[in-house]
Amino acid sequence: MTRSVLITGCSSGIGHSAAHYLQQQGFHVIASARHEEDVVRLREEGLPAVRLDLADDTSIEQGLEQALSLTGGTLYGLFNNGAYGQPGALEDLPTAALREQFNTNLFGTHHLTRLVLPLMLKAGEGRIIQNSSVLGLVAMQYRGAYNATKFALEGYTDTLRLELAGTHVHVSLLEPGPIETRFRANAKAAFLRHIQVDQSRHRTGYEQTLARLEKPGPSSRYSLGPEACLPPLLHALTSSTPRIRYPVTQPTKMLGWLRRLLSNRALDRLMLKAGG
């Protein structure tokens, strides 16, 4: 039996690569994106696709309904990948911008997960993979909104895993570090939409942030392509004993280790040196 998997955030990056890869691995993939033009493009690429905007409950419900119409009403896997980053110092961040970040990165994921879980529990099996981040493990200045959503997603997922114990619905966290996607371009757009650079005491730091977001090429010497996330994703979907966490890229593995080894003050000093 071909197992079906719904993936959010497939317009580019990890979600786009994952959709094509899992289809090649024999899964019945339903890709989703929040813009209709991306849905059309995904279909042209040979992927069954639906429109699903994680910031809109109605769109989530309609997108899942359309996905289930393509799978015969069942769903084995859910890869909660869709998210974006909102840069800016917390003191400069409008509350509405923080709500937007949580709506997409956490609340939308929760709404979709709640709708999918009854199907998996009824079937007696299922896999939920949450795309977290190294910034769900450690904090960095000017990433407070994104940090908050990913720290929340980590705690949310740990709790969900405990509550699903014994159900044969497995929950895993994918924790990428620097991955080359459209993330920086989307983050820059969010930054310019909500942050008043000229009125902030962080103006110099913001200039460095913008330079980082506009820099062509890899964001870090440790950066990897989206394909680095694919083997862990496949393992989470197919292993009889999927891991709880899958760190991806050297920075995630190193910082996960240093978080346990260093004092809070020492970790603060390290992350301040890492830059804005």
Domains annotated on the chain, with CATH: 4-273 (3.40.50.720)
Query: Which is the catalytic residue, given 146, 156, 206, 246?
Result: 146
Q: Could you tell me if 250 and 257 are in contact, meaning their C-beta atoms sit under 8 angstroms apart?
A: no
Could you tell me whether strands 28-33 and 169-176 are parallel, antiparallel, or unpaired per DSSP bridges?
Answer: unpaired
pLDDT (tens digit per residue) in 34-57? 999 999 999 999 999 999 999 999
pLDDT(109) > 70: yes
Active site residue 146: yes
Rounded CA separation 174/157 (Å): 11
Rounded CA separation 146/133 (Å): 9
Separation of CA 196 from chain center: 27
Residues 6+ apart with CB under 8 A from 150: 105, 132, 133, 135, 136
Output DSSP code: residue 224: B
Output DSSP code: residue 2: P
CA dihedral (242, 247, 250, 256) positive or negative: negative
Query: What pLDDT band is residue 160 in, cutting at 50, 70 and 90?
Result: very high
pLDDT(276) > 60: no
- Based on its alpha-carbon atoms, the radius of gyration of the chain, rounded to whole angstroms, reads 18
